[in-house]
Amino acid sequence: MSGTPDTTGGRAPDHAPRTVVVTSMASDAHTWNLVFLQLLIEELGYRVVNLGPCVPDEVLVEECRDLRPAMVVISSVNGHGYQDGMRVIRRLRAADPLATTPVVVGGKLGVTGDEDSERVAELMAAGFDAVFDDGADPAAALRGFVHSLQAGPPALAGRAPAG
C-alpha cells in the first residue's frame, strides 16, 4: 500500500479543525435533528461535539466553558424553543468566556409553525446571533451563517447585555 492515509487512525490530527457544539435544550428529547446538524457542520469542516437531547442548562454552560467552541448550534423542535431559548441564551451570555461566542438556535421553535417576528427579535435581543425557524432551507441558512462567520465576526446589532 502507498500514499498518505485518509484518517489519523483514531488519534487527534495535529491541527484539529475548530470545534462546534451541537445541542438541544433541557425539555427537548428529539435526536435526529441533532444528527442532521452534526453531519451538516462536519461537512463544513468543523469538529462537532454533540451534547444530545435534554441537556440541562448547567451542563450546556459547563461544556461550552470547557470547550470554548467556535460556535454553539442549538436545536429545538418540541415547541418550547422560545421559552427554553430565552432562558438558555441568558445563562450562556452570563458565563464569562461565552459572552461573544456565536450562538444560533433553530428548528420548530413554537407550535404555530411560523414563529412571529416579534419572538425572533426577542431571541436576538436576548443574545442569539441568528434564529432559524423552520421555513427556510436549514442547510442553506446554516451554511450561509458559517460562511459569514468565516468572513468576519457576527453582527452584534440587537444583542442585549448579558445578565
Nearer to ligand B12, 107 or 154 (CB): 107
Residue 41 CA to residue 83 CA, distance in Å, equals 25
For residue 58, give the C-alpha cell.
448547567
Q: Which stretch binds ligand B12 (CB under 6 A): 4-12, 28-36, 55-63, 121-129?
A: 28-36
Residue pair 54/26 in contact by the 8 Å Cβ criterion: yes
> Which of 30, 90, 91, 143 forms a contact with ligand B12 (CB under 6 A)?
30
Asked if 84 interacts with ligand B12 (CB under 6 A), we say no
Nearer to ligand B12, 37 or 48 (CB): 37
Asked if 75 interacts with ligand B12 (CB under 6 A), we say yes
Asked if 19 interacts with ligand B12 (CB under 6 A), we say no
For residue 43, give the C-alpha cell.
461537512
Q: Which stretch binds ligand B12 (CB under 6 A): 8-16, 26-34, 41-49, 148-156?
A: 26-34
Q: How far is the CB of 16 from ligand B12 (least distance, A)?
A: 23
Residue 75 CA to residue 10 CA, distance in Å, equals 28
Indicate the residue whose CB is closest to ligand B12.
106
Asked if 27 interacts with ligand B12 (CB under 6 A), we say yes
Nearer to ligand B12, 93 or 108 (CB): 108
Residue pair 119/111 in contact by the 8 Å Cβ criterion: no
> Which of 19, 26, 36, 38 forms a contact with ligand B12 (CB under 6 A)?
36
If you search the block for the grid coordinates 451534547, which residue do you land on? 51
